[in-house]
Amino acid sequence: MSAPKKLFVKTYGCQMNVYDSERMAGALGAAGYEETQDQAEADMILLNTCHIREKAAEKVYSELGRLRPLKDANPDLKIGVAGCVAQAEGEEIMRRQPLVDLVVGPQAYHRLPAMEAKVRNGEKALDTDFPEEDKFDHLPRGPKMRRAPAAFLTVQEGCDKFCAFCVVPYTRGAEVSRPAERLLAEARDLVERGVVEITLLGQNVNAYHGDGPDGVWSLARLVRELAQIDGLERIRYTTSHPNDMTDDLIAAHGEEAKLMPYLHLPVQAGSDAVLKGMNRKHTAEEYLRLIERIRAARPDIAMSGDFIVGFPGESDADFEATLELCREVRYASAFSFKYSPRPGTPAAGRDFVSDDVASERLARLQALLTEHQRDFQQAQVGRTLPVLIEKPGREPGQMVGKSPYLHAVHLDAPDSIGRVLDVEIVASNPNSLAGRLRS
């Protein structure tokens, strides 16, 4: 029996890419590969790329350049590029980097074994189609190995919103939702393997509309059905769009105890003029009233958001409106970036805000967001929170867990991985909390 081939996967970007990398490794496992953490011993290196941030493609080319010595040392090494950069620039990658053997888009991962066989025969393989068949139907099921306590589960892909700054509709395609019964089966399988927390993933996850046994299910219906699975203790979902926060989903936050009190709901800006330019199709006031409704249903919910500063046309007054929205919401956490044009998107050809101005605005926004984040963390001190213990810490006996609000919590709790424990929060650190077990 021949030794298994070695696969090294490097994942960039969002949680969905983490999930996709696991499934790609599973697909290539059926072709005789096992994963390695050492590039030098790999028979195939796969870069699972993200196209959201500035100069994403150039970063991929830089990484490919760093792989050249490995290819020179081992001419049989196969190198592949997957993900959104692959989808957007597949033929260009093949032309610009001859060392690349394989390029595969996000919707064609199930074809990896056939593509791998092709490159082993000395050919190049490129597949950036949006095939009609569901890739999840064709990806192999892995062995029932024990899993970490928390796992991702992709329920929806693609986006129909066409925000002016975003490449997702072009790289991931139109919104597609997976059938509900398959998701329930996959969730049960995860729980059987030790998972107690599942995060439902989608580029626009609250637009989920999957076929169920009695009609089309919403995300709220899926959450309620998942909550019936014995052993599944926690449910989360990300990333959401304000326009798809339906009444039943808001109600689920107040009624379903397993749905964690944490919601990532990007707004991107606080100015109606900028929101219109972004094609967000909601106003700042509509967003704020939505937050009010969500908090009325679940008063202890923590809000998270995304912001882009320096979007084309953003004035000083527009930026001040964003700061004012942040002061009103007081996010428990948030992600903020300077606008960077993505080729092919409607905003890419517009006049830019100068980099100096955008940088100054970003610094001011991040200072405000950091202040609110620290206030929220400090407010947890003295509370007792249910913490999911996920992994060992750096010190003997120390463990790292996750609060309902996604805070990392450090505490002494040996031999407790996979358990949800009542933990008294005793201190707030810059990026985590410290706790101790309640006696």
Domain parsing of the chain, residue ranges:
5-127, 145-260, 263-380, 384-437
Q: Please say whether the beta carbons of 433 and 378 come within 8 A.
A: no
CATH topology for the 5-127 domain: Rossmann fold (3.40.50)
**CATH code at 145-260:** 3.30.750.210
Q: Does 166 appear as a known binding residue?
A: yes
Q: What pLDDT band is residue 15 in, cutting at 50, 70 and 90?
A: confident
24 versus 131: the higher-pLDDT residue is 24
Nearest to 311 by CA among 173, 171, 169, 166: 166
pTM above 0.85, yes or no: no
**What is the token pair recorded at 208?**
């989920």
87 versus 331: the higher-pLDDT residue is 331
Report the DSSP beta bridge partners of residue 117.
Answer: none
Which residues 6+ apart lie within 8 Å of 375 measured at CB? 330
Q: What pLDDT band is residue 332 in, cutting at 50, 70 and 90?
A: very high
The pLDDT of residue 137 is: 59
Q: Which of 94-98, 253-257, 317-321 has the least mean pLDDT?
A: 94-98
State whether CATH 2.40.340.10 applies to domain 384-437.
Answer: no
Q: Does 326 appear as a known binding residue?
A: no
Return d(Cα 346, Cα 336) in angstroms, integer. Answer: 21
Nearest to 208 by CA among 165, 179, 172: 179
Mean pLDDT of the chain: 90
> Do 145-260 and 384-437 come out as alike in CATH topology?
no
Single-letter amino acid code for the residue at 76: D
The pLDDT of residue 376 is: 98
The pLDDT of residue 11 is: 86
CATH topology for the 263-380 domain: Transcription Regulator spoIIAA (3.30.750)
Single-letter amino acid code for the residue at 398: Q
**Residue 70: which H helix or E strand, with range?**
helix 56-73
Q: Which residues of 190-214 are buried (b: 16+ CB within 10 A; e: fewer)?
A: bbeeebbbbbbbbbbbbbbbbebee
Q: What pLDDT band is residue 57 in, cutting at 50, 70 and 90?
A: confident
Q: Please say whether the beta carbons of 334 and 305 come within 8 A.
A: yes
The pLDDT of residue 262 is: 98
- Verify cis geometry, omega within 30 degrees of 0, for the bond prior to 239: yes
Q: Which of 341-345, 408-412, 426-430 has the least mean pLDDT?
A: 341-345
Q: What angle do CA 418, 420, 425 make, to 5 degrees?
A: 125
H helix intervals, 245-335? 247-255, 272-278, 284-297, 316-329
Q: What pLDDT band is residue 386 in, cutting at 50, 70 and 90?
A: very high
pLDDT at 136 over 60: no
106 versus 401: the higher-pLDDT residue is 401
Reported as a single tens digit per residue, the pLDDT across 156-198 is 988 999 999 988 888 778 899 999 999 999 999 999 999 999 9
Reported as a single tens digit per residue, the pLDDT across 65-112 is 889 999 889 989 999 998 877 877 878 888 888 899 999 887 777 788
Q: What pLDDT band is residue 271 in, cutting at 50, 70 and 90?
A: very high
pLDDT at 239 over 80: yes
Report the DSSP beta bridge partners of residue 432.
Answer: 429
The pLDDT of residue 54 is: 58
Q: Which of 46-50, 54-58, 249-253 has the least mean pLDDT?
A: 54-58
